[in-house]
Amino acid sequence: MLNSIIRATSFVHHVLKGMIHEGDVVVDATMGNGNDTIFLAERVGPGGSVFSFDIQQIALDRTLKKIIDNKLDEYNIKLINDGHENIEGYLTDTIDAAMFNLGYLPGGDHSITTKPDSTIGGIKSVLRLLKPKGVASIIIYYGHEGGVNEKQKVLGFLEKLSGKNFSVMKCCYINQGNNPPIIIFIQRN
């Protein structure tokens, strides 16, 4: 069930729930406070693998605490202190799903944000690794400095993806102010 107010993060979890299965190999490309890492770990179970990336050590610390609090420390979750543009240095096997949540770390330093070139680099890596029918989600937050530029570059890149190889869907609020988030789903055909 969705919450009564449709939040972008709950909506993405709601959609991905039906597409990620026990034993899957998945990526959290922007670990942050670990909410998506926990969601992914609960979906793939102890037989699956979660690879989570963030450039800030504080994100790894907060996520590790959440993993322990949720009693998931026996699960196969790798917390990697590196950028998602380097995903292929850690993963060579194909993946079933990946999640991106762009912008800054909530409750952290708002001047450290995702950036267009590394974000597109990370998306390209994920698309190369994605299995047929595999899915990637991207929530684009763009209210911060440089956010509009990143949004435009990411959308520009995705619009040019071959429709033969990938289906790309954009979901957005049409009546909310304050730069409401944009949600993207990409599935390999």
Ligand X SMILES: C[S@@+](CC[C@H](N)C(=O)[O-])C[C@H]1O[C@@H](n2cnc3c(N)ncnc32)[C@H](O)[C@@H]1O
Smallest gap from residue 62 Cβ to ligand X (A): 8
Smallest gap from residue 109 Cβ to ligand X (A): 8
Smallest gap from residue 13 Cβ to ligand X (A): 10
Q: Which is nearer to ligand X, 90 or 133 (CB)?
A: 90
Smallest gap from residue 7 Cβ to ligand X (A): 12
Task: Classify residue 8 as left (phi > 0), alpha (psi -120 to 50) or beta.
Answer: alpha
What are the residues facing 27 on neighbouring strands?
Answer: 51, 98
Q: Which is nearer to ligand X, 6 or 133 (CB)?
A: 6
Residue 7's nearest CA partner among 163, 189, 188, 176 is: 176
Torsion angles phi and psi, residue 143, rounded to 5: -75, -15
Q: How far apart are CA 108 and CA 10, in angstroms?
A: 21
- For β-strands 95-101 and 166-172, DSSP reports them as unpaired
Q: Which is nearer to ligand X, 81 or 189 (CB)?
A: 81
Residues in the site for ligand X, rule: CB under 6 A?
30, 32-36, 53-56, 59, 83-85, 101, 103-105, 112, 114, 118
Q: Which is nearer to ligand X, 31 or 130 (CB)?
A: 31
Q: How far apart are CA 28 and CA 16, in angstroms?
A: 13
| Nearest residue to ligand X, scored by beta-carbon proximity | 32
